[in-house]
Amino acid sequence: MQQELLFKVLVIGDLGVGKTSIIKRYVHQIYSQHYRATIGVDFALKVLRWDSDTVIRLQLWDIAGQERYGNMTRVYYREAVGALVVFDVTRASTFDAVLKWKDDLDSKVTLNHGRPVPAVLLANKSDHLASQQPKLDSFCRENGFVGWFETSAKENTNIEEAARCLVEHILNNEESPMIEREPGSLVLSGFTNATKGHLNCSSCVKQ
């Protein structure tokens, strides 16, 4: 039987580091220099055929550029199972902010067994750099990132790989026994309820 998994993944990082570019590149295979702030969209959906019997629906939640002052609602963090933390390699301040974002993430959401959600660090806009960058392996180990990638939304490098790395970690967490979400929660919906099951249950298995 084919199983369908739904994962809520957060894409966080400072203003202008390329979060929206990464999402659009990954989900829609497009890249543009100019984006208007994403209006009216909570998340972009990427459907992955993971293997012959697993389909993964990845909900990529952008921090609506509007919440850029760093005051995320709990609604945004709630029930996320993974995160991509993005910084811009050409701006040191965005790298400094990475730990703030990671802390904010860990303080507001954990997996059911209390461990932090897996986070992958993306060093974006790597196409702007000619020289080799310092490795971030030890930085990741020390700060609880499960991995890091030099990415470029413009040249489409490493984005698929980063997402794959994150999904693998999410799946590892899935396999370890989790406390089931309390069944019997109600979802209120009007007539656009075709996908109601998908929107609120990030860790359940659908057949």
Q: Which 8-state DSSP code applies to residue 157?
A: B
Q: Which residue has the tokens 């009007």?
A: 190
Residue among 48, 50, 54, 106 that touches other proteins (CB under 8 A): 106
Rounded to 10 degrees, the C-alpha dihedral 140/202/4/178 comes to: 80
Q: Which of residues 73-92 bind other proteins (CB under 8 A)?
A: 73-76, 78
Q: Which 8-state DSSP code applies to residue 53?
A: T
Radius of gyration of the chain (CA): 17
Query: Contact between 138 and other proteins (CB under 8 A)?
Result: no
How far apart (Å, rounded) are the C-alpha atoms in residues 105 and 119? 9
Query: Contact between 48 and other proteins (CB under 8 A)?
Result: no
Amino acid letter, 26 = Y
Query: Contact between 191 and other proteins (CB under 8 A)?
Result: yes
Q: Quick check: 69 and 97 in contact, CB under 8 A?
A: no
Q: What's the token pair of residue 177?
A: 């026994």
Site string for other proteins, 6-35 (x = CB under 8 A): --------xx--------x---xxx-----
CB of 64 to other proteins, least distance (A): 5
Stretches 42-50, 120-128, 134-142, 162-170: which one binds other proteins (CB under 8 A)?
42-50
Question: Rule CB under 8 A: which residues touch other proteins?
Answer: 14-15, 24, 28-30, 37-45, 47, 59, 64, 66-71, 73-76, 78, 93, 97, 100-101, 103-104, 106-107, 110, 182, 184-192, 194-196, 198-200
